[in-house]
Amino acid sequence: MYDVVIIGSGPAGLSASIYAKRAGLNAVTLEKSPMSGGQVLNTYEVDNYPGLPGINGFDLGMKFREHADKLGCEFKEAAVVGVRELKKVGAGGRQTGEMQAASITTIKEAAEAENRGFAVITEQEEIETKTVIAAMGATHAKLNIPGEEAFSGKGVSYCATCDGAFFRGGVTAVIGGGDVAVEDAIFLARGCEKVYLIHRRDELRAAAILQKEMMALPNVEILWDTVAREIEGEEKVQGLVVENVKTGKKERLTVDGVFVAVGIIPSSDALQDVADCDEKGYLTAGEDCVTGTPGIFAAGDVRRKKLRQIITAAADGANAVTSVLEYLA
Ligand code: NAP
- The 10s digit of each residue's pLDDT in 259-272 is 999 999 999 999 99
Pocket-testing residue among 205, 223, 245, ligand 1, by greatest number of atoms within 8 A of Cβ: 205
- CA 307 to centroid of ligand 1, rounded, Å: 12
Q: Across the chain, what does the average pLDDT equal?
A: 92
pLDDT at residue 194 tops 70: yes
Q: Is the CB of 88 under 6 A from ligand 1?
A: no
Q: What is the pLDDT of residue 37?
A: 77
Closest CA to 95 of 251, 292, 270, 257: 292
Nearest CA to ligand 1 atom 24: 263
Calpha distance 174→187 (Å, rounded): 11
**Which band of pLDDT confidence, cut at 50, 70 and 90, is reported for residue 36?**
confident
- Opening angle at CA 309, ends 308 and 310, nearest 5: 135
Q: Per-residue pLDDT for 243 more than 70?
A: yes
DSSP label at 288?
T
pLDDT: which is higher, 97 or 255: 255
Selected catalytic residue, list 47, 59, 159, 269 = 159
pTM of the model: 0.85
Residue 162 has a pLDDT of: 85
Q: Is the CB of 48 under 6 A from ligand 1?
A: yes
Closest approach atom of ligand 1 to CA 141 = 15
162 is catalytic: yes
Q: Indicate whether residue 8 lines ligand 1 (CB < 6 A).
A: no
Burial of 183 from C-beta contacts in 10 A (0-12 / 13-18 / 19+): buried
The 10s digit of each residue's pLDDT in 105-136 is 555 455 455 557 999 999 999 999 999 999 99
User: Which residues lie across from 31 on neighbouring strands?
Assistant: 77
Which residue, by CA, sits nearest to atom 14 of ligand 1?
A: 262
Among 243, 268, 266, which residue's Cα sits nearest to residue 253?
243
Q: Quick check: CB of 96 below 6 Å from ligand 1?
A: no
- Tally of CB atoms within 10 A around 151: 21
In short, whether 261's Cβ falls inside 6 Å of ligand 1 is: yes
Give the residue ranges of DSSP H helices in the chain: 11-22, 57-71, 97-103, 107-115, 160-163, 179-189, 208-215, 310-328
* pLDDT > 50? residue 65: yes
Which among 290, 293, 294, 275 has a CA at the least distance from the CA of 114? Answer: 294
Mean pLDDT on 65-88:
93
Residue from 47, 59, 69, 162 carrying the catalytic annotation = 162
pLDDT score recorded for residue 113? 55
How far is 211 from 216, CA to CA, in rounded Å? 9
Q: Are strands 74-77 and 264-266 parallel, antiparallel or unpaired?
A: unpaired
pLDDT reported for residue 208: 98
Q: How far apart are CA 16 and CA 19, in angstroms?
A: 5
Residue 220 carries which DSSP code?
A: E
Q: What is the pLDDT of residues 153-174, one digit of tens each?
A: 999 999 998 899 999 999 999 9
Backbone angles phi, psi at 97, to 5 degrees: -55, -40
Angle at CA of residue 303, ends 47 and 296, nearest 5°: 130
What are 66-69's contacts with CB under 8 Å, separation 24+? 67/14, 67/18, 68/14, 68/17, 68/18, 68/21, 68/29, 68/36
Which one of the listed residues 3, 163, 179, 184 is annotated catalytic?
Answer: 163
